[in-house]
Each structure stands twice: as structure tokens, then as C-alpha cells.
Amino acid sequence: MMSYGEVWKFLVVIGLISVVLYFITSSDSGSYIDDLLSAGGLEHPPVAQKVFWCFTEGACATALLVSGGSAALGALQSVSIVAGMPYTFVICFACTSLWEACRMDYQEEDLLANQGDFTTHVLDVFEMMEMRQLGGPNAMARLTSLVVGTFAPFVAVFRAVNKMFENNKISGALTNIVIACFFLLWPILHIAAAAKDDKKNKKTTATMGWVFYLMFCLIVAAVRSGVRTAKKINGSLISDFFTTMMMYPMVCSQLMLDDFSTSNGVNSLPGGV
């Protein structure tokens, strides 16, 4: 801490507050879950049982740190990250799904007003590419679009971007170029990182690759949001972004095959992203 100069005291206070908040929220809630699971269905478990689980978890953590030292602490932190990372992505979908379910249950007006639909759905790949509407794309066309969306998503979204910027060709062309550059920089930077010997430069280069991937996902999500808004399809930019981030090939395939027809019969999309 002394290496931070005069601000070390402030950092100590912030660190203590953060640790206290962590144990009040995360660790305490974990003990509460253990308590409920071992209570045999009781809604209000005994206080003594709550204390038992708190002390048990604390004793286990202390024993691990004392016996293993700094190496054990590093391993414990790594395990926490590895175990929590998939849950982070799942909870993003779970929260948005729960929010949409609650809105449907309460029959909100804006939800009832937006009854449009995409020509295809992102999860149709798990239904063996079943045709959703008469005259819709067949399984071969959908499989082809999925391959294109995986390896060349900038080609898949080309038509959707041009439709969005129908009245501004220059903006549409620039958007397509940016999407292509951001996507291509993602694997290029990871390949460059693998070729580097310096560990610090390797990590920095790989991180920049992920930054460009997230920027690519954000632009594609904005394009999908524009299509969704024009077709009066329920959803939000946040859900579009998480969907694109987790399954960009399906999203790009969806945009490639969409007919872009709106509910009022106008075959055009609003300008701008």
C-alpha cells in the first residue's frame, strides 16, 4: 500500500468498505442459501443453524488460506472466477427473460402493441431449422446463412445495414466497413497475442481483441434493434446486445434472412442506429 504514496490510507478505507459489503451481500447470502437447503423445508430456520453455517464457511476459508498461503489464495480466486463467469452470462439471460415474463403476465400496453416477429429466430438452429412461415427460407438457406454469419458476419448484416441507411448510402457503407474491421481485428489480435513472447504484451493484445469483439457486438445489436423497432417486435437494446454477444452467428443469420417488412406493409427501416 505504501507504494501508492499519500492516497494509501484512502485506499485502505475503500478496501475495508468493499470487503464488508462483499461479505454482507455475497458471502452472507451464500450462507443463507446453505441454511435453507439444510433446513428440511422450514421457511424460518433456527438462528443457531445460521450461525453454524457462517462459522463453518469461515473456518473452511481460514484453513485453506493458512495451510496453503498465497498460492492457495490465488487458486481460490481463480476457482471463483472460473465458476462465476458462466453464471454471469446465464444470469444476463435469466434476468431479461424474467423481466419479459413479468411484463407479459401484467399485459403491459407497449408489449401488447408490439406484436411483430422476425422471419427466423436465433434459437431455430436447435429445432433443426424448421420453417416458421409459408414461403420462408428453407433449411439449406438457413444453414448457409449460419455459416456466413459465423465466419463473415459483416457479409450477413450487409443488407440489413444498407436497409437501415437507405437514405444515407455513405453512412451505410462506413457502418459496414467498421463492422468488418472490428470483427476481423478480434481473431487477428488474438493470433498476434499468441505469437508474442512478452507476457504483458500478450495479455494487452488479447484484451484489445476482446474490446473490438464487444464493439462489433454493440454495432450489430444496434442494427438488430433498429430492425426490431421498425417491425414492432418487443425487446430492448440490452437484450439485443447480450444475444449478439453470446450467439452472434445466429443473430447475423437472422438479419441476413429477414424480409424487413413492417406491420404496416412499408418495406423500409428507419435511418440511423
With cut-offs at 50, 70 and 90, classify the pLDDT of residue 56. Answer: confident
Q: Is residue 99 part of a domain?
A: no
Give the model's pLDDT for residue 223.
96
Residue 24 half-sphere exposure toward CB, CA atoms < 13 A: 6
Give the model's pLDDT for residue 28.
67
Q: Is residue 268 part of a domain?
A: no
Q: 41 and 169: one domain?
A: no
Q: 76 and 136: one domain?
A: no
Q: Is residue 171 part of a domain?
A: yes
Give the model's pLDDT for residue 200.
79
* pLDDT tens string 150-167: 999 999 999 999 998 988
Q: Once rounded to an integer, what is the mean pLDDT over residues 208-218?
A: 96
Q: 123 and 45: one domain?
A: no
Q: 51 is in which domain, residue-wise?
A: 2-88
Q: 45 and 134: one domain?
A: no
Which of 22-31, 102-111, 208-217, 222-231 shows the lowest mean pLDDT across its residues? Answer: 22-31
Q: 69 and 134: one domain?
A: no
Give the model's pLDDT for residue 52.
84
Provide, rounded to the nearest whole percent, the portion of the chain with pLDDT above 90: 31
Residue with more model confidence, 24 or 176: 176
Highest mean pLDDT: which of 72-76, 89-93, 203-207, 265-269? Answer: 203-207
Residue with more model confidence, 213 or 107: 213
Q: 134 and 242: one domain?
A: yes
Q: 68 and 144: one domain?
A: no
Q: Once rounded to an integer, what is the mean pLDDT over residues 228-239?
A: 86
Q: 122 and 224: one domain?
A: yes
Q: Is pLDDT at 192 greater than 60 in this prediction?
A: yes
Query: CA–CA separation, 119 vs 16, rounded Å?
Result: 53
Q: Is residue 103 part of a domain?
A: no
Provide, rounded to the nearest whole percent, the portion of the chain with pLDDT above 70: 85
87's grid cell: 453464471
Residue with more model confidence, 198 or 250: 250
Q: Once rounded to an integer, what is the mean pLDDT over residues 135-156?
A: 89
Give the model's pLDDT for residue 14.
87
With cut-offs at 50, 70 and 90, classify the pLDDT of residue 265. Answer: very low
Give the model's pLDDT for residue 171.
93
Q: 174 and 245: one domain?
A: yes
Q: Is residue 137 part of a domain?
A: yes
Q: Is residue 93 part of a domain?
A: no
Q: 21 and 58: one domain?
A: yes
In 101-255, beta strands by DSSP E: none
Number of structural domains in the chain:
2
Q: 67 and 22: one domain?
A: yes
Give the model's pLDDT for residue 129.
61
Give the model's pLDDT for residue 273.
37
Highest mean pLDDT: which of 18-22, 27-31, 166-170? Answer: 166-170
Q: Once rounded to an integer, what is the mean pLDDT over residues 121-133?
A: 71
- CB-based contact 137:125 (threshold 8 Å): no
Q: How many CB atoms lie within 10 A of CB 163?
A: 21
Q: Is residue 202 part of a domain?
A: yes
Average pLDDT, the chain: 82
- First-to-last C-alpha distance (Å) of the chain: 46
Q: Once rounded to an integer, what is the mean pLDDT over residues 132-159?
A: 87
Query: How far is Cα of residue 266 from the mean position of the Cα atoms in its chain?
Result: 32
Give the model's pLDDT for residue 270.
43
Q: Is residue 271 part of a domain?
A: no
Q: 142 and 224: one domain?
A: yes
- CB-based contact 219:250 (threshold 8 Å): no
